[in-house]
Amino acid sequence: MTNNTINIDIDALTEDFKAHCKVIKLGCEYPGYTGNEKYGIISDLSYEQITERYAPIVECYLPFVLLSKDMGEVFAEFNRNEDKFCKRMRRDDVYGFDDGTTERHNIECCVPDFAEALFRECFPQQLVEKAFALLTPIQQSRVKQHIFGKKSFAKIAASEGKAKNTIQESYDAAIKKMKKFLKNTLPKDTPYSE
């Protein structure tokens, strides 16, 4: 056998190994890993089959941990998710998705809010008071806390021992009720009357 045929056999064996096995570095997958095995090989083949069939290739990976294809898919899915969320954080929102965070840091991107316009002298005070009087005491309290107290729905929910969604739905219903009253009372050309 010449060196050329040995190289061709090794190349073919390497391609076959890549088709049936995937090598991972355990130190990279598990930061702080201190075991004797430095590599993991993901394959449906047994440990013996791999060491016999691919002896010249796996000798540099010995000792290794054998992992099934299912375990390999878990690794791949984890890495895809990590990559996806990392890209999303870099691309979309540097502040996170907490209630009101974007609005606090980017006030110029916020659309004027009907609820806040209600109480900023955009409407006749008597009408606003009549609309506010239509609300239940709980709705009045939540509107006051959110608009004047600048409390987030999460903070109001925590103080009342309720779910955030419950508070937000109650607040939205209150604003909708006030808006309906003003829509029916104000002239058609007034802002927010549509």
Q: Express each pLDDT in 21-42 by its tens digit.
A: 989 888 887 778 888 888 999 9
Cβ neighbors of 40 (< 8 A, separation 6 or more) are 23, 24, 26, 29, 64, 65, 66, 67
**Predicted confidence band at 110 (pLDDT cuts at 50, 70, 90)?**
low
Number of neighbouring beta carbons within 10 Å of residue 61? 19
Binned at pLDDT 50, 70 and 90, residue 85 comes out as confident
Q: Nearest 10 degrees: CA dihedral of 32, 33, 39, 45?
A: -130
Between 103 and 24, the more confident residue is 24
Res 182: pLDDT: 80
* Nearest in space to 179 (alpha carbons), one of 139, 136, 127: 127
Instruction: Please tell me the predicted confidence (pLDDT) of residue 117.
Output: 66
* pTM, 2 dp: 0.41
Say which residue, 102 or 151, is predicted with more confidence: 151
What is the Cα–Cα distance from 194 to 184, expressed in whole angstroms? Answer: 10
pLDDT higher than threshold 70 for residue 84: yes
Long-range interactions of 96-101: CB distance < 8 A, separation 24+:
98/154, 99/152, 99/153, 99/154, 99/164, 100/152
